[in-house]
Amino acid sequence: MTRTEKRAAVGLALIFALRMLGLFMILPVFALFAGELEGATPKLVGLAIGAYGFTQALLQIPFGLLSDRIGRKTVIAAGLLLFAAGSVVAAAAHDIWQVIAGRALQGSGAIAAAIMALAADLTREEQRTKVMAMIGMSIGLAFAASMVAGPVVGHWLGLSGLFWTTAALAVLGLIILVTVVPTPAVVRFHRDAEVQPARFTSVLTNADLLRLDFGILCLHAILTATFIAVPLALKQYAGLPPLRHSYVYLPVMAASILLMVPLVIAAEKRRKMKAVFLTAIGLIALAQLGLLRYHTELAGIVAGLLVFFTGFNLLEALLPSLISKTAPVDLKGTAMGVYSSSQFFGAFLGGALGGWVHEHYGLAAVFAACAALAGLWGLVALGMKPPRPVSSLLLHVEVSDRRQAQQLAHKLRKLPGVVEAVVVPEEGVAYLKIDKQRVNRERLEALVARFAPPSPEPQPMES
């Protein structure tokens, strides 16, 4: 990657990670500290945990579209300020309703789509996958770190201190945006990273994509509901004070990442994607049944969490890959936009419904409800077609008109290993799906060469 691309990748990954760290630090401890808030009930505690998901799901696509009009960095900066403001509202809260309002305001700073669009503006087509992968890794690391940092920060600073910490993280993200992330010379539309509103119907009527959207909704609903119950079980039944919850989460997260690696290899390299995918859903269901039976014992909670996070981390890796393989080649950005909104709406539902179940039926019923939801998800996923073993590839081309673009796309589709090809003359990009084991890259590049001028480094303006 060029210097500009490296700065963009590192800066945007850090901003995304800091925001996610702030959002998720509350997850493993809020149920423990919520009792100090006036008016707190299990139902409202769950609503407070998941409130950010509703506003995030509602606003992330509109904010992404707005960034096309007023600039990516302007939208990202505004989103970080909204996130900081929500954190301050929650930090100053004395009752549960103020915290719910603060969490909803945090989620209204929905910058995910704008960050992805800015990453696309600042990278060449052939380097974009690397940058997106770095951002994706930063999200995973931030989530793992939040599970460990939340109990530590909560122990030393309390609930208010947790929210003040998230406000500070938002300010740090704003500083990185201004000082590290380049400003693109030109803002362009990118079909692989942005939503096309006119083509929502194509995504929303695709049964395979809808199965995956339902899957990510279920996964994050189960995650949020689980952490309404698990912290309380660790305190009430295992007798662990909040600080020692980190001693549980740290080894569990580390071990689960190690356990998922061979399964990811089996899915991607050995082309066992559907089998591994269904296995991961089974692990989620098994973990919830284990927690239902053994949540009164420390060993049972630890074992249940290990199985859960192995399945969770595996699904977090597989689901975006499945979206990319399943979506039409020129609709990946639109499909990912709907997928991300489903993910955040799932977090909202998990908090709201998990809190309601806890209030009316008790702690064990939360695990039972999560197991039932995982079982329903498994039944829905059974009908999924085995995904084709394809990868996305973007190539910079120069064609003069639509007729020439169609001719190039037709020739590309005739090459062995090229499964789909769409050439968009307005963007100067060929969007491809390829089978890496069959495609001849030399023939592919030779065909494109006469259409593709040298790719210059994206030139940033002064930040």
- Among residues 140, 221, 217, the alpha carbon closest in space to that of 381 is found at 217
Output the CA angle 162-167-171, nearest 5 degrees.
145
With bands split at pLDDT 50, 70 and 90, how would you rate the model's confidence at 463? very low
Using an 8 Å Cβ cutoff, are 409 and 423 in contact? yes
Phi and psi at residue 302, to the nearest 5°: -60, -45
**Mean pLDDT, to the nearest integer, of 237-254?**
94
Average pLDDT of the chain, as a whole number: 92
Residue predicted with more confidence, 268 or 219: 219
**Mean pLDDT, to the nearest integer, of 225-244?**
95
78-89: pLDDT as tens digits:
999 999 999 999
Tell me how far apart the alpha carbons of residues 441 and 120 are, in angstroms, rounded to a whole number: 23
Tell me how far apart the alpha carbons of residues 126 and 128 are, in angstroms, rounded to a whole number: 6
CATH 3.40.50.150 for domain 206-389: no
393-421: pLDDT as tens digits:
888 888 878 888 888 889 999 999 999 99
- For residue 41, how many other CB atoms are within 10 A of its CB? 14
- The runs of H, that is alpha helices, within 109-127 are 112-121
Give start-end residues of each CATH 3.30.70.100 domain in the chain: 391-456
pLDDT of residue 266 exceeding 60? yes
- Give me the percent of the chain exceeding a pLDDT of 90: 76
With bands split at pLDDT 50, 70 and 90, how would you rate the model's confidence at 457? low
**Mean pLDDT, to the nearest integer, of 36-42?**
94
**Mean pLDDT, to the nearest integer, of 6-16?**
94
Tell me how far apart the alpha carbons of residues 45 and 31 are, in angstroms, rounded to a whole number: 7
Using an 8 Å Cβ cutoff, are 48 and 168 in contact? no
User: What's the 3-state SS for 383-409?
Assistant: CCCCCCCCEEEEEECCCCCHHHHHHHH
What one-character-per-residue DSSP string does 2-65 give?
-HHHHHHHHHHHHHHHHHHHHHHTTTTTHHHHGGGSBT--HHHHHHHHHHHHHHHHHHHHHHHH
Between 52-61, 315-324, 396-405, the lowest mean confidence (pLDDT) is in 396-405
What Å distances lie between residue 399 and 14, 49, 404, 408, 448, CA to CA? 36, 50, 6, 9, 10
**Mean pLDDT, to the nearest integer, of 27-56?**
95
With bands split at pLDDT 50, 70 and 90, how would you rate the model's confidence at 114? very high
Give start-end residues of each CATH 1.20.1250.20 domain in the chain: 1-186, 206-389
- For residue 456, how many other CB atoms are within 10 A of its CB? 9
Residue predicted with more confidence, 449 or 100: 100
pLDDT of residue 455 exceeding 60? no
Tell me how far apart the alpha carbons of residues 265 and 248 are, in angstroms, rounded to a whole number: 27
Tell me how far apart the alpha carbons of residues 248 and 231 are, in angstroms, rounded to a whole number: 11
Between 34-48, 125-139, 305-319, the lowest mean confidence (pLDDT) is in 125-139
Q: Which CATH architecture has domain 391-456?
A: 2-Layer Sandwich (3.30)
With bands split at pLDDT 50, 70 and 90, how would you rate the model's confidence at 453? low
Q: Is 112 helix (H, G, I), strand (E, B) or coil?
A: helix
Q: Which CATH architecture has domain 1-186?
A: Up-down Bundle (1.20)
- Give me the percent of the chain exceeding a pLDDT of 70: 97
pLDDT at 294: 96
200-212: pLDDT as tens digits:
999 999 999 999 9
Between 192-206, 207-221, 342-356, the lowest mean confidence (pLDDT) is in 192-206
Residue predicted with more confidence, 345 or 444: 345
pLDDT of residue 14 exceeding 80? yes
Does the predicted model carry a pTM greater than 0.85?
Answer: yes
Antiparallel, parallel or unpaired: β 391-396 and 429-434? antiparallel
**Mean pLDDT, to the nearest integer, of 135-153?**
92
pLDDT at 186: 80
pLDDT at 454: 52
- The runs of H, that is alpha helices, within 295-423 are 298-326, 332-361, 363-382, 402-413
358-377: pLDDT as tens digits:
999 999 999 999 999 999 99
425-442: pLDDT as tens digits:
888 888 999 988 888 888
- For residue 86, how many other CB atoms are within 10 A of its CB? 29
With bands split at pLDDT 50, 70 and 90, how would you rate the model's confidence at 451? low
Contacts of 189 (CB under 8 A, 6+ apart): 68, 427
pLDDT of residue 344 exceeding 90? yes
pLDDT at 461: 46
Residue predicted with more confidence, 403 or 169: 169
Residue type, 348: F
